[in-house]
Amino acid sequence: MSDFTFYKARYQSELTGKSARDLHELISAMKTVDESSIFHHVYHALLDYHFLPMEYPNDFAYWIADALHEPALAERLADPDLREIHDLEALRARILSIIEDYLTTHDVTGVAGVGQEFHFIRCISVIFPTRYVASNMGEALEVLKNIDLDSIFYYFIASRMLSGEHYKAFSHWIIENNSHELMEELDNLYPYGFANLNAMRVEIVKIIERYFWEHL
Amino acid sequence: MNEKRSVWDYECIVGRGLLEDLELLAENISGKVQHVNSTYTGGGVAEILNSLIPLFKGLDIETEWNIIRGDDEFFSVTKSFHNQLHGRVGNSVDIHAHEKVSVLEDLEREIEELSMKKRMLETYLYWNKVNAEEMTNDGDFVFIHDPQPAALIHTKEKGNWIWRCHIDVSSPDPLVWNFLRDFVSKYDASIFSTPLFSRPDLGIRQFLVPPSIDPLSDKNIELPQSEIDKVLDKYEITTDKPIITQVSRFDRLKDLPGVIDAYKLVKKRIDCQLILAGGVASDDPEGMEVYREVQKKAEGEADIHLLLGSPPFTDIEINAFQRASNVIMQKSLKEGFGLVVSEGLWKGKPVIGGATGGIPLQVINGVTGYLVHSVEGAAYKIANLLKDPELAQKLGENGREHVRHNFLITRHLKDYLLVMLSLENPSRIIRL
């Protein structure tokens, strides 16, 4: 069995130059910004430290509630059911369809005040290996218990959505270890179901330990 | 500045993960880094560079820090630029004032002002030319901080030039901005502290990097009580009454008169004292004038400690003032990022701040302190915190964690390394 090196990423924010003051401008910009901007606005809050559970887990929902005062739409965007969505174009389409559907039945006229505009930000991912290496599933489990939450975010969210390569490598490595069913369970993890990344790590560890208990 | 500092000095504050990442990112940087600004001391930019440069060097990145020179007129011009770029409250030289004056009413005055404006721009260009001739800008990554040295871009021969803007230029005086934009648009990239401070008309890459404080600097390091007491004794401040403190330059935008008014309202109900401690930066000729105005307003108030750092306060003294405080104020009318807020929060103190500039990014209303919009609002929140020490302690603890995760120098260093890697590799996904 080959050794598996764990990777992580750090992210740098860059302005796209696109901004929106109302829902129509938001839709228009959302259709053209690059994928990494959609990724940033949907997922970056999971990486941030929070004192309280997030009221809205993504920037679009937060801005629509806070600046446009449209809480019903914000709530729909806060839980967009992303289970079947594994790439950013599908994610973009899903968010657009939620907003456009809402507009067919609601007359939204809210305009953000000065200083409350939505600024589209793209993220640049810098990916690099960590010092953590596993040569079997037991070691991998220990790594997952201790590795930075940035790595958990990278494997189970960023890598899947942005490039896929390291998540696929992780998946192949687990399957090589005759753990196909385990990978299916991990594939079904849904990041929006967790209060924070540590809770997600706890669930990942629990899934693997349960699998060991049942199969080894 | 030749000293190096190891990032591992910060391990007990930020943990291993980030520090390992810093080392790995730095290994992938090749070439020399150069930072250029207008002063080695005074103000947030100099403070950040005093901490960052040794850390860059500690990561074995060749790093140089240069300052530009100029006469009083040059710094008066750049101070005026500063005010015109990030908004103005109060009176000062207004190089755009001619637009408000009717030609019919006062043609002569307009001609005089246009002539003055021309002289100001000429002064700015003259000193940038002098500095360009004296300075060797041969870095592979050249960070030019703020408007003062921005015209040095004309000397670019190699490398990536980054204009690091620490102020809010979202609603500038158009004339000053258009003048400056001609230089800035020639850079390879810019860095802003928040999207709110940025411009849509630059035409170059715009990265986002919030500023930071150094938890190991004299200004922020833990102090024994004996050290705090020694400083308070020196300035004849007793601890028998709760202390409200604002540390800021003597600058109209910091609303020191508003802080005094809020204090006076609180004082009617709660016996307390106010420390106003500040200095006057070498590139800020207006400071003494503001100090005298504040002095007049504080006349007859025995419990107002108006402290002018001349010679400047030591960083330990500033640290002691903040640590001795029950509540920290930053009641700015207009603010860049307002790093003094993070300094207060890092010391576990609740901060009451004006809802402007970068303050709302640091003061989460009701969580790390309070955002206020008026003298009355400030007084109400000060009184709340003085009456409820447990609440003050909880907000302070939250504030310290907020700063730990978002506004420490190690995060700032990581962001600069990522920006440098991004400039060397235009891809959205960079594999090291």
Contact list in B for residue A49 (CB cut-off 8 A) is 401-402, 405-406
A125–B429 C-beta distance less than 8 A: yes
Asked if the structure places residue A68 within a domain, the reply is: yes
Asked if the structure places residue B429 within a domain, the reply is: no
Reported as a pLDDT band with limits 50, 70 and 90, residue B97 is very low
Structure tokens at B154: 């004309």
Which bin fits A51, alpha (ψ -120 to 50), beta or left (φ > 0)? alpha
**Is the domain of B418 the same as that of B269?**
no
What would the pLDDT profile of B319-338 be if each residue is shown by its tens digit? 999 999 999 999 999 888 88
* Structural domain harbouring B140: 7-101+110-212+409-424
- Give the span between the Cα atoms of B168 and B174, in whole angstroms: 14
Q: Which residue did the predictor score with more confidence, B92 or A126?
A: A126
Asked if the structure places residue B396 within a domain, the reply is: yes
Q: What DSSP string runs through B224-239?
A: -HHHHHHHHHHTT--S
* Tally of structural domains, chain A: 2
A150–B367 C-beta distance less than 8 A: no
For B240, which DSSP code? S
What would the pLDDT profile of B358-416 be if each residue is shown by its tens digit? 999 999 999 999 999 999 999 999 999 999 999 999 999 999 999 999 999 999 999 99
**Is the domain of A150 the same as that of A86?**
no
**Is the domain of B191 the same as that of B241?**
no
Contact list in A for residue B165 (CB cut-off 8 A) is none
**Is the domain of A90 the same as that of A136?**
no
**Is the domain of B237 the same as that of B175?**
no
**Is the domain of A14 the same as that of A114?**
yes
Looking at the complex, does the CB of residue A179 fall below 8 Å from at least one CB of chain B?
no
What was the pLDDT predicted at B98?
43
Which bin fits B87, alpha (ψ -120 to 50), beta or left (φ > 0)? left
**Is the domain of B272 the same as that of B208?**
no
Query: Is pLDDT of B310 > 80?
Result: no
- Give the span between the Cα atoms of B253 and B334, in whole angstroms: 5
What was the pLDDT predicted at B59?
98
Residue A2's nearest CA partner among A113, A140, A188, A101 is A140
Looking at the complex, does the CB of residue A14 fall below 8 Å from at least one CB of chain B?
yes
Residue B115's SS3 state is helix
Mutate: best of A8, A15, A152, partner B, most B CBs <10 A: A15
B21–A10 C-beta distance less than 8 A: yes
Reported as a pLDDT band with limits 50, 70 and 90, residue B141 is very high
What was the pLDDT predicted at B14?
96
Number of A/B CB contacts below 8 angstroms equals 81
What was the pLDDT predicted at B173?
86
B431–A17 C-beta distance less than 8 A: no
Backbone angles phi, psi at B331, to 5 degrees: -85, 50
Here the CATH number for the domain that contains residue B370 is: 3.40.50.2000
Asked if the structure places residue A3 within a domain, the reply is: no
**Is the domain of A15 the same as that of A106?**
yes
The alpha carbon of residue B68 is apart from the nearest alpha carbon of chain A, in Å, by 29
CB B364 within 8 A of CB B283: no
* Structural domain harbouring A142: 131-215
User: Pick from A92, A121, A150: which residue ends a domain?
Assistant: A121
Residue B214's nearest CA partner among B57, B334, B65, B319 is B319
What was the pLDDT predicted at B350?
98
**Is the domain of A14 the same as that of A108?**
yes
Taking a contact as any Cβ pair under 8 Å apart, which residues of chain A between 103 and 162 contact chain B? 115, 119, 121-131, 148, 150, 162
CA dihedral sign, ordered B219, B220, B224, B225: positive
What was the pLDDT predicted at A21?
96
Residue type (1 letter), B231: V
Closest partner residue to A119 (CB to CB) among B195, B415, B432 is: B195
**Is the domain of B415 the same as that of B366?**
no
Asked if the structure places residue A98 within a domain, the reply is: yes
Asked if the structure places residue B2 within a domain, the reply is: no
Asked if the structure places residue B218 within a domain, the reply is: no
Nearest residue of A to residue B24, measured between CA atoms: A128
**Is the domain of A68 the same as that of A156?**
no
Classify residue B315 by burial, with Cβ atoms within 10 Å: 0-12, 13-18, 19+. middle
Closest partner residue to B208 (CB to CB) among A13, A52, A150 is: A13
What would the pLDDT profile of B32-88 be if each residue is shown by its tens digit? 999 999 988 877 899 999 999 999 999 999 999 999 999 989 998 998 888 888 764
**Is the domain of A77 the same as that of A173?**
no
**Is the domain of A61 the same as that of A140?**
no
Chain CA centroid to CA B12, Å: 26
**Is the domain of B150 the same as that of B169?**
yes
**Is the domain of A101 the same as that of A140?**
no
**Is the domain of B278 the same as that of B318?**
yes
What would the pLDDT profile of B387-398 be if each residue is shown by its tens digit? 999 999 999 999
Contact list in B for residue A150 (CB cut-off 8 A) is 17
Contact list in A for residue B207 (CB cut-off 8 A) is 12-15
* Tally of structural domains, chain B: 2
Q: Which of A68-72, B143-147, B196-200, B271-275 comes out lowest in average pLDDT? A: B196-200
Structure tokens at A166: 């390291």
The alpha carbon of residue B428 is apart from the nearest alpha carbon of chain A, in Å, by 5
**Is the domain of A186 the same as that of A111?**
no
Reported as a pLDDT band with limits 50, 70 and 90, residue B282 is low
Find the helix or strand (DSSP H, E) in which A7 lies. Answer: strand A4-20
**Is the domain of A22 the same as that of A115?**
yes
Q: What DSSP string runs through B293-327?
A: HHHHHTTT-TTEEEEE-SSPPPHHHHHHHHHT-SE
- Give the span between the Cα atoms of B397 and A109, in whole angstroms: 40
Provide the β-strand partners of residue B328: B245, B351
The pLDDT tens digits along chain A (216 residues) read 688 999 999 999 999 999 999 999 999 999 999 999 999 999 988 888 777 667 788 999 999 999 999 999 999 998 777 767 878 999 999 999 999 999 999 998 899 998 899 999 999 999 999 999 999 888 888 999 999 899 999 988 888 888 777 888 888 888 777 677 788 888 877 777 777 888 889 999 998 888 877 776
**Is the domain of A150 the same as that of A107?**
no
Nearest residue of B to residue A36, measured between CA atoms: B428
What was the pLDDT predicted at B191?
98
The alpha carbon of residue A20 is apart from the nearest alpha carbon of chain B, in Å, by 12
Asked if the structure places residue A126 within a domain, the reply is: no
Contact list in B for residue A36 (CB cut-off 8 A) is 428
Residue A186's nearest CA partner among A165, A209, A163, A216 is A209
User: Pick from A63, A94, A121: which residue ends a domain?
Assistant: A121
What was the pLDDT predicted at A12?
97
Residue B330's SS3 state is strand
Alpha helices in B59-173 (DSSP H): 72-85, 103-134
